[in-house]
Every structure is written in C-alpha cells, then in structure tokens.
Homo-oligomer: A and B are copies of this chain.
Amino acid sequence: MASIKDVAAEAGVSVATVSRVLNGHPSVSDEARTRVLAAVRALGYRPNAVARSLRTDETRTLGLVISDVMNPYFTELARSVEEEARALGYSVIIGNADERPELQDHHIRTLLDRRSDGLLLSPTDGGSPLMLDAARAGTPMVFVDRWIPGVDVPVVRADGRDAVRDLVAHLHGLGHRRLAIITGPAATTTGSERVAAFGEALEAFGIALPEAYIGQGDFQAESGRRATDAFLALPEPPEAVFAADNLMALGALDAIRARGMRVPDDIALAAFDDIPWFVHTDPPITAIAQPTGELGRAAVRALVDRIEGRPPQSVTLSARLVVRRSCGEPPDPAKEQRVSHPDELLRIEGIRKEGEFSG
C-alpha cells in the first residue's frame, strides 16, 4: 500500500505538506494542493488509520458490548447505534456477551486494548472489576438499557413502569387475577426493575405476587420454557404470564403449546420488548415496546459528547403498552397495533429526558 511518503515523492513535496492537504490545513498553496491531490489519485492512496490513531490517540471507534445479539431487541439497538455513530464519523465494534460475564470482560478488554474512543455497555451482571476500573480510570462510557447503580456513568434507558402498570390494568380488566412473571437475572437492572414494577402495579390492584409466581429466567428462550413449565405444574397455575423479555416469551409459548394449552384461552401471555415478529405469532403477542432506535441514537450522542469533551446527559425515554390478542378478548380491530418500527411510538408518546422535570 502506498504511504504518505510515496505521495510526497510523487508530488515533489514533503510529507508535512501532504498531511496538511489531507487534513484541510489552511496554510497550503493551491499549487501544492493540486499536485498532492493528483498524486493521491494516481497512487490510489488512502491514509493508514492505524498510524493516524497512534499519533493522534483517537481511533474514531466506539465499542458496543451487548448481552445477546440474537435477541431482536439488541439487534435493533446495535443497528441504530451503528447508524448514529456513522453519522458522527465513528465506526462501531460490536461485542456479543451472550449473557456471560467472562465474555463481556473479554470484549471490554479487547476494546480497551484497541483503544476504542468510548464504550457503550449493557452489563450482563453487577459489573466486573475490569469494567469498574475502566470507568474510574476515565474511559468514556455510557450504559444503555441496563446499568449499574452507584457508578458515575451516564445511563440511556427506557422506563417501563407506566407501561407495566398499563399492562396489569389490561390484564385485570380482562378478569385475570393470578398473574405471574418470568424475570431476568437479579444482577441486571432490567431483571430486577421489571419485577419491582410488576409487583408495585399488582399491589395497586390489591393483588399479591407470591414467590411461586416469580419464575427465575436468564433472558433466554429455554429459561422461559422452564419457568412456564413450573408455573403450569402448580396446584393453582397463574391465569397470565408476563415474560420480562421477548425470548423468554417465546419459550413460554413453547411450554404452553407443549401441554396442549392455548393462548389466550387457557392462559394469557405478555412480554417486555416488542418486536416485528410478535405481530405474526399465533396469537399476536401483547408487549411493552421500547423506543429502541431512539435509545441507540441517544446513547451514541451521549457517548460522543463525553468523548469530545461536552457534558454527557443521561436519558430516560418511556416504554408503551401495545395490546394484541395474547391476553384475551381481541381489542377493537381498528385499534389493533402494528409496530414494525417501535420508533413510531415516539411520535405518539413523546420523549422525556431526565432533568426536564425536576432536574
């Protein structure tokens, strides 16, 4: 590959001049500029980003470590992150932690070694020493979706509290009283928050949430299946199951089918995280939709703010209930919702940013 020296030789100038032309430095004569550009074209020269990074100490690369790429929610998040990053002149390296802390650490380590300018994390656990050290050492970092309490890192996430309350109201309105939840790992905020919100909502309706109705899952389909099996084996099984993510909902659907039962006739089902497929499942699944695309974009903006020396902002958007048929009694067909792009919800719901209310 041609280097800047080759270009300089071809154009009959010094490497400094070539560099100045390439970086738009004003102090270059038109004469030199044209000669350099001609040489660049002639040699098909492209600057070596590795060398540039070494010198400037910036790679214009963002690291994104997500819990599970196969989960459509995170796929969409990754997609929007990449789009926004590209718009701001950054590339994204995606690490798939597969819900495994040691894999998460592996990715954080390589991203750090490769000198990513910043990290976008959705922690699978309570935070490894590696991650906490990096945060303390001043590595630009933003948590997205999940976060770790007590760490001074901006958080971009959706608040599902209201939507969960809406869901419980919906279930209650359909006559369901025995409501169960399949939760994620307690070490993740999304795991614990969703049960908490569910519990509070139930309480508001004077419904108890017995231990037996809390199934421990790990955000993977298989755990949804197991938890649902356990529910159905109970002397008094629940009338409705709320899965804290979409994959566990799929597993739950499997388990219900395996017993020859039908949704929603025999049992109601709802999920956190809406995805395009939920429109086409049998039956279409009622879900809580996050403004995924906007979350990804906001996270990138916060991280880039931090990297480029501007004060980064934590952002909380709100999630929203999308009623379909999996909890019973089809709603008025005119009101039935198709949400291929959950972002459309923003136009309906509006965006709430932290600090706009109380500060």
Chain A interface residues (CB < 8 Å from chain B): 44, 46-51, 53-54, 59, 61, 69-70, 72, 75-76, 78-79, 82, 86, 91, 93-94, 96, 106, 109-110, 112-115, 133, 221, 250, 253-254, 276-277, 280-283, 340
* A109 to B, closest residue via Cβ: B46
Instruction: Assess A115 versus B50: contact at CB under 8 Å? Given A75-B70, A75-B75.
Output: yes
Instruction: Assess A75 versus B79: contact at CB under 8 Å? Given A49-B115, A53-B50.
Output: no
Taking a contact as CB atoms under 8 Å apart, the answer to whether A76 and B70 are in contact is yes
A119 to chain B, nearest CB (A): 14
For A91, the chain B residues whose CB sits under 8 A away are 93, 110, 114
A249 to chain B, nearest CB (A): 10
Query: 22 A-B pairs, CB-CB below 8 angstroms?
Result: A46-B109, A46-B112, A48-B113, A48-B115, A49-B110, A49-B115, A50-B50, A50-B54, A50-B59, A50-B114, A69-B79, A70-B72, A70-B76, A91-B93, A91-B110, A250-B277, A250-B280, A277-B277, A277-B281, A280-B281, A280-B282, A281-B281
Q: DSSP majority for the A interface?
A: helix
For A82, the chain B residues whose CB sits under 8 A away are 96
Complex CA gap A109/B51 in Å reads 16
A221 to chain B, nearest CB (A): 7
Complex CA gap A79/B110 in Å reads 17
For A86, the chain B residues whose CB sits under 8 A away are 106
Q: Which of B94, B280, B340 contacts A94 (CB 8 A)?
A: B94
* A52 to B, closest residue via Cβ: B113
For A70, the chain B residues whose CB sits under 8 A away are 72, 75-76, 79
For A59, the chain B residues whose CB sits under 8 A away are 50
For A113, the chain B residues whose CB sits under 8 A away are 46-49
A103 to chain B, nearest CB (A): 9
* A48 to B, closest residue via Cβ: B115
